[in-house]
């Protein structure tokens, strides 16, 4: 049976003023149910949620964690050769400043419940610069969702390489250098010559890019 709870709930004040008390009670229940279905409680995320990337758990080239203490469930999907649906609380990172966090099922069907974050990081910690769902654009003018939605469904928005996303122009050496020089990690100031060169190459690559449109900044 299908009941349009949202529509029924919006009629409630009108009916309940005139009709039996039982109807009012039913309305209260339906409003509660409609509310619960429309928006499961979010997993709270703030600046303090994030820390040194390399203290998360490495999986191939990226890192994972779980904010609800269910790291094993997250690892099971991340390590699976056939993909799967990441459980709520999953945290996924490739570079220090960009994070995906899995909110509870039904939270945002368009992004399959992933919330996207762009951070500013320093030795003092993390500051959330942007967060949200389909609308989040990173500092280079790229929309997280637009790229990640291209991952084939079994990979649940995780791109890696070969999952169907357009590639990003970062080499493995550049990605590794960004991870190893995350300023939130102890010892990050000791930079190897190879990493220093990779970061220089990355800066040159970014300087070549046209400036993003003003609206995306
Ligand atoms: C231009 C397309 C593009 C944009 C824009 C983009 N990503 Fe990605 N992202 C990728 C690709 C491709 C990879 C995999 C790269 C690799 O493994 O070499 C990736 C990797 C990641 C990963 C590691 C897991 C994975 O999917 O492999 C996370 C987490 C992530 N991106 C988050 C974000 C967030 C958050 C934003 C926005 C603030 C963002 N990305 C913007 C394409 C993009």
Given the CA of residue 117, which atom of ligand 1 is nearest to it?
35
21 and 88 part of one domain = no
19 shares its domain with 101: no
- Residues contacting 139, CB < 8 A, separation 6+: 97, 118, 129, 212, 217
Nearest CA to ligand 1 atom 11: 159
Q: What is the per-residue pLDDT for 17? A: 46
Q: Is ligand 1 within 6 A of the CB of residue 71? A: no
Q: Is the pLDDT of residue 168 over 90?
A: yes
Atom of ligand 1 nearest to the CA of 118: 38
Q: How far is the CA of 145 from the centre of ligand 1 (A)?
A: 9
End-to-end CA distance of the chain: 47
pLDDT band at 213 (very low <50, low <70, confident <90, very high): low
Residues paired with 115 in a beta bridge: 101
CB of residue 93 inside a 6 A radius of ligand 1: yes
Using CA atoms, how far residue 133 sits from 46, 154, 172, in Å, is 16, 20, 27
Task: Tell whether 109 and 16 lie within a shared domain.
Answer: no
- Report the alpha-carbon distance of residue 210 to residue 14 in Å, rounded: 56
Question: Measured in angstroms, how far is the CA atom of residue 159 from the centroid of ligand 1?
Answer: 6
Q: Of all protein residues, whose CA lies closest to atom 7 belonging to ligand 1?
A: 144
pLDDT at 113: 98
Do 118 and 101 belong together in one domain?
A: yes
Q: How many domains does the structure of the chain reveal?
A: 2
Q: How confident is the model at residue 214 (pLDDT cuts 50, 70, 90)?
A: low
Q: Does residue 103 sit in the same domain as residue 22?
A: no
Please indicate, yes or no, whether residues 126 and 156 belong to a single structural domain of this protein: yes
Residues 59, 144 share a domain: yes
Q: Ligand 1: does its nearest atom lie under 6 Å from the Cβ of 99?
A: yes
- Domain of 27 in residue numbering reads as 5-38
User: What value does the mean pLDDT take over residues 83-96?
Assistant: 98
pLDDT at 169 over 70: yes
Which pLDDT value is given to residue 211? 57
């Amino acid at each position: 049976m299908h009941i349009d709870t949202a529509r029924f709930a919006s009629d409630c004040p009108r009916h309940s003023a005139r009709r039996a008390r039982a109807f009012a009670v039913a309305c209260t229940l339906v409003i509660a149910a409609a509310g619960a279905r429309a928006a499961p409680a979010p997993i709270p995320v703030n600046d303090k949620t994030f820390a040194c990337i390399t203290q998360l758990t490495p999986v191939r080239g990226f890192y994972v964690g779980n904010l609800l203490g269910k790291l094993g469930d997250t690892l099971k999907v991340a390590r699976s050769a056939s993909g799967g649906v990441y459980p709520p609380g999953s945290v996924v990172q490739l570079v220090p400043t960009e994070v995906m966090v899995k909110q509870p099922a039904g939270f945002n069907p368009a992004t399959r419940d992933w919330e996207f974050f762009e951070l500013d990081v320093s030795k003092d910690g993390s500051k959330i610069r942007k967060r949200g769902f389909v609308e989040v654009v990173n500092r280079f003018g790229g929309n997280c969702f637009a790229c990640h939605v291209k991952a084939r469904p079994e990979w649940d928005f995780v791109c890696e390489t070969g999952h169907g996303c357009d590639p990003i122009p970062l080499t493995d050496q550049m990605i590794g250098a960004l991870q190893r020089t995350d300023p939130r990690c102890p010892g990050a100031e000791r930079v190897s010559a190879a990493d220093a060169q990779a970061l220089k190459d990355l800066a040159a690559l970014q300087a070549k890019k046209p400036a993003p449109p003003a609206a995306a900044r």
